Amino acid sequence: MQRWLTGVTVGGGIVFGLVVSSLLLMAAGVSPGDLFNESITTVFFDPVGLGQVVAAATITVVTGLAAAIALRLNFWNIGLEGQMGLGAIAATGCALFAPVHGFGMLIEMALAAIVCGMIWALVPGLMKLYLGISEVISTLLLNYIAAFLIQHLVYGWWRDPASGFPQTAAFGPSARLPLLGWQQVNVGVFVTLILVVLSAYALGRTRVGAYIAAIGANPRAASGSGVPVRKIMLGVVLCSGGLAGLAGFMLMAGQQYRLSPGVGTGFGFTGLMIAFLARYQPVAVLIIGVLVAGLYVAGDSLQTFNQMSSAVVGLVESIVLMSAVAADFFVRYRVIKHAAPAREQNA
């Protein structure tokens, strides 16, 4: 398959989706001028808006990577949200109840978040490998369990008595990622860039990367030629969960500074969407992750200034994704017309 053709078609699908979405939003009462201002000018050509985009992209790119590496093995990690949630719980727990002095605090939080994200991914991984249970269902159920666990904590055990809201107390300064002086952009942005480079290297240039490609193409053939399929699969699932957990930590320590209900909601679908549009390529994940972050920022201002439902971001995402997925058809298949053949005959 020609690479440029894939790029052109997916790009065409994205553009088509954006046009359809804009028309829908205008039909719903957003004026074209507002739409252009709020979704392009103030998002990408304004230092404040761009800062918000970079801050949001720090998280979306990591979730995109988490989805992409698992998708390389055709493992549909729908559970990114739950793994992020567990990461957020772990980071919060460390920040509030196990404080350490200095830089060690952030390291402790990050490690705890990665481990908890991994554990939350390990369960469906084992269920798939040893019992053949579809990871689509099991990861999804675990999302709900994680969401209710967070609510149990913020409405009960961990609730900050000083606050009227269901949330924990705010983190101390040592548990916050240092800001770089541009909006909410923090050192997490370097972590994200390093992760993109690392995963591009690992997937493209190492033996493990080659194994992953082989299993993704045909697990039986890979197993037959001596690839340790189970080990690699478990490893990849753990990496995916760990990355999602880390994203949960970055959300807590970099932006929200406290646990509240609904942490990570929507990030799971977003991560999968980014990975799918990026064809599981880490560098493409970076580019699409930034665009999707722009969509989030634009969606926020549409909500604030045009009283749109918060579901509008999901609507735009889904239209873009569906268009890109449908456009894919024209890359993979060629439509051939046959001159009215006898009925049951085929090509």
Partner 1 sequence: MSDTSFLTHWLAACPMFAAPLLLAILGLILCERSGVLNLGAEGVMTVGAMSGVGIVVYSGSTWLGLLAAMVAGMLLSFLYALIVVVLRANQVVSGLALVAMGAGIAGVVGTPFAQQPVPGLAPLHFGPLAHLPIIGGMLFEQDPMIYLTLVLTAALSYVLFHHRIGLNLRAIGHNPAAADAAGLPVLRYRILAVVAGGALLGLAGGYLAAVSSRVWVEGMVGGRGWIAVALVIFAKWRPVRAIVGALIFGGLDALIPRLQATGASIPIYVFFMLPYVVTLIALVLAALQKDQFDMPASLGRAFIREDRH
Find the DSSP H helices in the chain. Answer: 3-27, 32-36, 42-44, 47-71, 80-97, 104-131, 135-152, 188-205, 207-217, 219-224, 229-251, 267-277, 282-306, 312-332
**Which of 273, 285, 286, 288 is in the footprint of partner 1 by CB under 8 A?**
273
**Which of 333, 337, 338, 340 is in the footprint of partner 1 by CB under 8 A?**
333
Among candidates 214, 212, 201, which has minimal Cα distance to 236? 212
Residue 155 interacts with partner 1 (CB under 8 A)? yes
Contact between 238 and 125 (Cβ < 8 Å): yes
Please enumerate in sequence order all residues whose Cβ is within 8 A of that of 78, keeping only pairs 6 or more positions apart, or say none: 135, 136, 139, 140, 143, 268, 272
Total residues binding partner 1 (CB under 8 A): 50
The CA R_g of the chain, rounded to the nearest whole Å, is 22
Within 13 Å and on the Cβ side, how many CA atoms surround 130? 8
Q: Least distance in Å: CB of 67 to partner 1?
A: 10
Residue 197 interacts with partner 1 (CB under 8 A)? no
Residue whose CB is less far from partner 1, 51 or 266:
266
Residue 347 interacts with partner 1 (CB under 8 A)? yes
Residue 2 interacts with partner 1 (CB under 8 A)? no
Residue whose CB is less far from partner 1, 58 or 270:
270
CA–CA distance, 73 with 250 (Å, rounded to integer) = 26
Please enumerate in sequence order all residues whose Cβ is within 8 A of that of 23, keeping only pairs 6 or more positions apart, or say none: none
CA–CA distance, 292 with 272 (Å, rounded to integer) = 12
| Burial state string for 115-127 with b = 16 or more CB within 10 A and e = fewer than 16 | bbbbbbbebbbeb
Residue whose CB is less far from partner 1, 200 or 316:
316
| Burial state string for 146-176 with b = 16 or more CB within 10 A and e = fewer than 16 | bbeebeebbeeebbbeeeeebbbbbbeeebb
Residue 156 interacts with partner 1 (CB under 8 A)? yes
Residue whose CB is less far from partner 1, 35 or 127:
127
Residue 111 interacts with partner 1 (CB under 8 A)? no
Residue 137 interacts with partner 1 (CB under 8 A)? yes
**Which of 144, 165, 190, 305 is in the footprint of partner 1 by CB under 8 A?**
144
Residue 344 interacts with partner 1 (CB under 8 A)? yes
Residue whose CB is less far from partner 1, 218 or 310:
310
Residue whose CB is less far from partner 1, 257 or 276:
276
Per-residue binder mask for partner 1 (CB under 8 A), 233-272, x = binder: ------------------------------------x--x
Residue whose CB is less far from partner 1, 7 or 29:
29
CA–CA distance, 134 with 125 (Å, rounded to integer) = 9
Residue 315 interacts with partner 1 (CB under 8 A)? yes
Residue 112 interacts with partner 1 (CB under 8 A)? no
By CB atoms closer than 10 A (0-12, 13-18, 19+), residue 202 is middle
Residue 151 interacts with partner 1 (CB under 8 A)? yes
Count CB-CB contacts under 10 A for residue 192.
Answer: 23
Residue 138 interacts with partner 1 (CB under 8 A)? yes
Binding stretches for partner 1 (CB under 8 A): 24, 28, 76, 78, 127, 131-134, 136-138, 140-142, 144-145, 148-149, 151-152, 155-156, 269, 272-273, 276, 308-319, 321-322, 325-326, 328-329, 332-333, 344, 346-347
